[in-house]
Amino acid sequence: MVAFKFETLDVWRRSVEFADAIFVVADSLPKRYQYSLADQLRRAALSIPTNIAEGTGRDGLKERRYFFRVAKGSVYEVVSLLIMSVRRGYVDDHTYGEHYKVANEIAAILTALARK
The whole-number pLDDT of residue 1 equals: 75
Residues in the chain predicted with pLDDT less than 50, given as ranges, are none
Q: 49, 16 in Cβ contact below 8 A?
A: yes
Q: 54, 67 in Cβ contact below 8 A?
A: yes
The whole-number pLDDT of residue 2 equals: 72
The whole-number pLDDT of residue 16 equals: 98
Angle at the Cα of 114 from the Cα atoms of 75 and 47, rounded to 5 degrees: 30
Q: What is the CA radius of gyration of the chain?
A: 15
The whole-number pLDDT of residue 116 equals: 79
pTM of the predicted protein model: 0.94
The whole-number pLDDT of residue 17 equals: 98
CA–CA separation, 106 vs 82, rounded Å? Answer: 16
